[in-house]
Structure formats: C-alpha cells, structure tokens
Amino acid sequence: MAIHAIRSRGLLLNEIAWVQCCVFVCWVVCGFGSCESSVNDVKASFVFGDSLVDAGNNNYIFTLSKADMPPNGIDFNASGGLPSGRFTNGRTIPDILGQEIGQNVFAPPYMAPTTSGDVLLKAGVNYASGGAGILNETGRNFIGRISMDTQLNDFANTREEIISMIGVQEAQDFLAEAIFSISIGSNDFLNNYLAIENLPERELVSPEQFIQRLIDTFRVQLTRLYNLDARKIVVANVGPIGCIPYQRDFNPLQGDGCVSRPNQMAMGFNTHLKDLIVELNANLSGAIFVYANVYDIVNDIIVNYKSYGFDVADTACCGSIGRHKGIIPCGRRSNVCPEHSEYVFWDPYHPSEATNLIIANRLLDGGPDIVSPMNVRSLAQV
C-alpha cells in the first residue's frame, strides 16, 4: 500500500499555518543560541500508533477516519482552536509528555510536506494514524489508514534523512536519546476481530489465537524498531475499550456498565504484552522498553471519576445520537457539552484533553504498578 507516499492533497490553510508556526518556533528557539548544544542533547519524540495519538497524518490520506473539522481541536492552543487532525479537543498524551521532557514544539505529522530537515532533529516525528492497527488488515472499514508496518517504513525513511544530515554515528546517538512511544492495538479488536463483518472469522479463530497473533506480530515490529536504533521505547497497553461511549451505545443489553467482551480481550492482550516487554528488555542489548499500564489508569478514572473532578464518565462531550452520544463521530453538527474538561470522553472513542493530562502525568511520575521498569521522566533522564 502506498498510503504513506501521499503527501499534500487536501491541505487546509489553517493546517499550513499551524505547521509553519511550529517550524517558526523551532527557528526562534534555536536561532538565538538556546539550542547550540549537540543534537544528542535534544529529547526528540517519535510517536507511533492510532487515533489516540494521531497528530494529523490522516489529514493527508483518503480515509473515513478524520478529525479535520470543528469542534475537534477547539482547546488546542497551538492551532488557535482550529482542527489539527487530533482526535480530541486539545493535546494528546504524547503532546503532553513531549512538553514535560523539554520539547519546545510538538512532533509534527510525518505526512505534512514540511516535516523534513532540521525539524526532525528539534521535535521528532509523529507517524500515528487513525484506524491503524498492529495487523495490516485492521481498519479496512475506514478505507485509508497507515498501519504499524507502514509507520515503521516511514520511520526508516526519516532515519535515512537524519543520517544524510548528521552522519551515521551521530544519528545513532541522537536516536538512542530520543523517546519513542507506541499506542496501538485497540483497533485490532474494535475494527477487526470484534467487528460485525468479521463474525465468520471469529468462528474459526479463538480470542486466544487472535491475541497470540497480535503479540507475535508486535514482537517483530518492536524488534525492527530496535534494529532501526530506537533504544528508549514506551509501549502503552490497550485501555478499557468496552467502556467507550461507542461500545456502550452499540451494546445496550450490557446496561449501565462497560461492555465485558472487549475489556476481557484487552486484558488478555495486556497480560501477554507485559510479558513481551520483559522478554525484549532481556534479549535486546541496550534497550529500555517501558510498559505503560494505561488500562488501569483509565479504568480508575471511569470508576472514580468524581474524585478526578469529572462530572460525566460514560457519555461523549462531542457526539450525537445514542444515550451516550456514541453513534456518530464528532463533527460540525454534533452536540457539544459546555464544559469540555468535565467529561472523561471527548467523542465516542477518544478521551478528552483533561483525561489525557491525567494519563500523561501518571506515566511521567507513576510507580511500577503503572509504568515499568521506570517512568517516562526517569527514562528521559537515562
């Protein structure tokens, strides 16, 4: 698939302004001497995954999975409240983590035509794509998406560009200091195995067999990332996908609680993923793979939402149709809650910026029950 080669079609003027603003900030910050140290001192971020962390890559491909219309981005200061392609009202988790480890600008989307040259050294790159999965066939219901394998191909291209700018050894040193983060797997369940159109396949493949296929594929992908010089790699597990408004509205017989089967499959995958992270740390010399227990963070927020300052934990702030506003994605005609920070979920599928902030802070400074073998702040300082 050549999705990753499609670059500039359909670029909106506000997107151009947003990316140019990021490049300008890089120039200002570094042009006055504050970035005169080696590029190896810069904690760039390289982000892989799905719509939870997409920074706008899907704006540049033909897909049904897009966040390029209001009110998405309404609280995203970097874009002036205009849509940037993020599937939330503000910042994503990698955006917040990047700021906390000292980045001056957000990692730009790989598909943006301006994502090249010095910006790669100052900010890194975001390769994530809404609808993407570990498996290449995941998300085909969206038509276009950039799978994990293709995202790795894109990173390989970035790596070659970095080598051409600063040489092999310095590029390896630079990448060894960068933070790599991966948030993927939810679509492999929601938009693959558990999708209605895949019912015949479910009769032939057990949940355990499907999970094992995911883990085997992910092992190869994470090892490839290591072989491309990544050394500090944060891997998020799959969250409680049975609790999102979309699942609640499409499974009304579950009552007021979360939908059990998606959550059971997510927990089964997470158990194997944690073992995989231990395996990779033992077998890949010099690597630090960090297991990020997003499932427990989000589950605790949903169960104890009042104590976190939320008013609503089961309904989308932006959506329409359905008891939980979980049937139609967020768009121009959606009903939008007046106080965005009071909702755990921004839309039928994705957390609000307020939720992302809590998750990011737990990953930054949390203990081994949440992030292991070390938290993200410690990882950045290694």
Residue pLDDT, tens place only, 260-292: 999 999 999 999 999 999 999 999 999 999 999
Q: Output the pLDDT for position 36.
A: 36
Confidence of residue 136 (pLDDT cuts 50, 70, 90): very high
Q: Where is average pLDDT lowest: 167-171, 256-260, 270-274?
A: 256-260
Q: Output the pLDDT for position 196.
A: 86
Taking the C-alpha atoms of residue 284 and residue 306, their distance in angstroms, rounded to an integer, is 42
Beta-carbon contacts of 363 under 8 Å, excluding residues fewer than 6 positions away, are: 93, 97, 234, 292, 294, 297, 370, 371, 375, 376
Domains of the chain: 3-381 (3.40.50.1110)
Distances (CA, A) of 187 to 101, 176, 190, 313, 377: 29, 29, 5, 21, 28
Cis, bond preceding 108 (omega within 30 deg of 0): no
51 is catalytic: yes
Catalytic option among 51, 65, 79, 84: 51
**What is the rounded radius of gyration, in angstroms, for the C-alpha atoms of the chain?**
20
Q: Output the pLDDT for position 3.
A: 37
> Over the chain, what is the mean pLDDT?
90
Provide, rounded to the nearest whole percent, the portion of the chain with pLDDT above 70: 89
Q: Output the pLDDT for position 198.
A: 85
The number of residues making up the chain comes to 382
Average pLDDT over residues 185-203: 91
37 is catalytic: no
347 is catalytic: yes
- Residue 367: pLDDT over 80: yes
Query: Taking the alpha carbons of 216, 218, 224, 226 in that order, is the dihedral positive or negative?
Result: negative
Beta-carbon contacts of 378 under 8 Å, excluding residues fewer than 6 positions away, are: none
- Residue 27: pLDDT over 80: no
- Residue 9: pLDDT over 50: no
Catalytic option among 75, 324, 350, 352: 350
- Residue 248: pLDDT over 90: yes
- Residue 1: pLDDT over 50: no
Q: Output the pLDDT for position 10.
A: 39
Average pLDDT over residues 150-168: 98
- Residue 160: pLDDT over 50: yes
Q: Output the pLDDT for position 42.
A: 53
Confidence of residue 332 (pLDDT cuts 50, 70, 90): very high
Q: Output the pLDDT for position 12.
A: 34
Catalytic option among 183, 249, 347, 372: 347
- Residue 16: pLDDT over 60: no
Q: Output the pLDDT for position 199.
A: 81
Beta-carbon contacts of 5 under 8 Å, excluding residues fewer than 6 positions away, are: none
Q: Which of 280, 302, 300 is CA-nearest to residue 290?
A: 280
- Residue 41: pLDDT over 70: no
- Residue 304: pLDDT over 70: yes
Taking the C-alpha atoms of residue 251 and residue 269, their distance in angstroms, rounded to an integer, is 22
- Residue 13: pLDDT over 90: no
Q: Output the pLDDT for position 301.
A: 98
Average pLDDT over residues 86-103: 96
